[in-house]
Structure formats: structure tokens, C-alpha cells
């Protein structure tokens, strides 16, 4: 009943816990479970999947390691908020040359994010626009309060990607989020006023469904970042 969509090898080529982990993943999809939902307990899963409780326990451990499941002590096992997404999935933290990494990430973002902003302007719903304005305002509040705004900044860019209604786009978010955080840590948050004005322009364009303006505002924002990184690179040489 729970033939796993996630199994990329034939039965017998993977361990039993690995196969059961795939079946549990498929169960999550089939039942449309979300982070608010609790996974059936170990005994129930063992009965449903016709395996021992020890195998279920090992399969759950695999899915916890992959951020598909989270264990809440005293409450049970729940679906992760963003199943399958892990911090730094592309291994950026292990690149020793952070300036080079920041430049290369920005190079990719320059090709990708203006298009993302344009698509967001084309497809954003009213709920998306309301959320985007809220994220933009929170960034401004942090900046004007002298609080580190990078977390809010990252949420702002994630929100833009979500406005595209493209299922694949959120999976590319690590490229954007790591770049935002890395750039902020390198430049000492010197572009605060530019960040406020750029975010306002991007938000207004997306909420106004102005595809061209959204694309141009994002491109300009990234160009400011590129110039600042180049200045930083010259100072270090």
C-alpha cells in the first residue's frame, strides 16, 4: 500500500530501515501531513508497514537526521516544518575563501533573483503581498532599532521566492539565504539605508504586479551588493 516514491534503488539493494524510511515519507505525502501533525506511534507504524518496531525506530532516526521528522520530548514524533530541508545543504560553510564564495553566490543570484522578483510580481496573491509587506517592514524596524536585521532580511527574500508559486523555487532558497547572511557578516551591515530603499522598491513593484520594475529593482539591489563586495576585496588585497 505504501510503495515508496522515494526509493531510488530496488528492494533488496537498500537496508530494511532505509526502505521503511521511504515508506514513511510516502505516508506523509499520501496523508498530506504537515508540521502540526503527529506521526502514528511506533507500534501503529510497525503494524501498518508489517515490520518490527526496531526497524521503525531506525527508520525514524534516519528521517530525523534528514529533517523530515522532529521528536518533541513527551509529545511524540512530528513532521518537520520544512521536511527534507537542512541547514547549509550545499556545504557552503566548508569553503575557506568567504570573499570568493560571496562573489560567486552573488553572481548566481544576479542571474536568478531578478527573474524570481519578476515572477513574484506576476503571480503574487493578496495574501502573499500582505506577507511581503510585513517582512519588509520588519527588516526596517530592525535596522532603525539598531538590531541585526539579517534574519529578517533572509525571511524577506524567502517570501519573494514563495510569491512565485513555483514549487521548485523554495528549494533554491539556500543559495539566497546563505548569500544574504554571508554578505551581511562580511560588510558589517554598511548598506543599511540602501537595504531599506531597495526593499521598499522591490516590495512596491511586486505588490503592484509591475513585472519590469520588480526585475529592475532586484537587479539594482544586487548590483549595490556587488560593488560593496568589490570594495571589500580591494581593501583586503
Query: What is the CATH number for 114?
Result: 1.20.120.530
Identify the pLDDT of residue 11: 44
pLDDT at 188: 61
Kindly state whether residue 116 falls inside one of the protein's structural domains.
yes
Query: What's this model's pTM, rounded to 2 decimal places?
Result: 0.67
The reported pLDDT for the residue numbered 214 is: 98
Q: Say what the pLDDT of residue 4 is.
A: 41
Same domain assignment for residues 163 and 61: no
State which residues of the chain have pLDDT below 50: 1-12
Range of the domain at 193: 92-236
The DSSP call for residue 166 is -
Q: Which of 34, 56, 79 is the last residue of a domain?
A: 79
Q: For residue 93, give the DSSP letter.
A: G
What pLDDT does 190 receive? 59
**Cα gap 178→126, rounded to integer Å:** 28
pLDDT by residue (tens digit) across 44-68? Answer: 999 999 999 999 999 999 898 888 8
- The pLDDT score that the predictor gives to residue 166 is 94
* Cβ neighbour number for residue 166 with a 10 Å cutoff: 15
Amino acid at each position: 500500500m505504501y510503495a515508496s516514491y522515494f526509493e531510488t534503488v530496488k528492494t533488496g539493494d537498500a537496508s530494511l530501515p532505509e526502505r521503511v524510511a521511504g515508506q514513511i515519507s510516502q505516508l506523509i505525502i499520501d496523508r498530506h501531513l504537515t508540521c502540526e501533525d503527529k506521526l502514528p506511534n511506533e507500534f501503529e507504524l510497525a503494524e501498518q508497514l508489517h515490520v518490527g518496531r526496531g526497524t521503525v525506530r531506525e527508520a525514524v532516526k534516519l528521517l530525523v537526521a534528514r529533517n523530515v521528522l522532529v521528536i518533541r520530548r513527551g509529545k511524540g514524533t512530528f513532521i518537520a516544518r520544512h521536511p527534507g530541508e537542512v541547514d547549509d545543504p550545499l556545504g557552503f560553510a566548508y569553503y575557506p575563501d568567504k570573499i570568493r564564495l560571496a562573489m560567486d553566490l552573488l553572481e548566481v543570484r544576479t542571474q536568478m533573483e531578478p527573474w524570481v522578483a519578476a515572477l513574484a510580481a506576476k503571480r503574487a496573491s493578496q495574501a502573499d503581498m500582505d506577507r511581503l509587506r510585513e517582512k519588509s517592514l520588519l527588516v526596517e524596524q530592525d535596522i532603525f532599532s539598531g538590531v541585526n536585521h539579517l534574519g529578517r532580511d533572509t525571511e524577506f527574500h524567502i517570501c519573494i521566492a514563495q510569491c512565485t508559486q513555483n514549487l521548485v523555487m523554495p528549494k533554491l532558497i539556500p543559495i539566497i539565504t546563505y548569500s544574504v547572511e554571508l554578505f551581511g557578516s562580511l560588510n558589517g551591515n554598511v548598506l543599511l539605508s540602501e537595504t531599506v530603499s531597495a526593499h521598499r522598491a522591490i516590495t512596491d513593484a511586486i505588490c503592484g504586479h509591475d513585472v519590469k520594475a520588480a526585475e529592475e529593482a532586484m537587479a539594482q539591489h544586487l548590483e549595490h551588493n556587488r560593488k560593496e563586495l568589490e570594495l571589500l576585496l580591494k581593501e583586503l588585497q
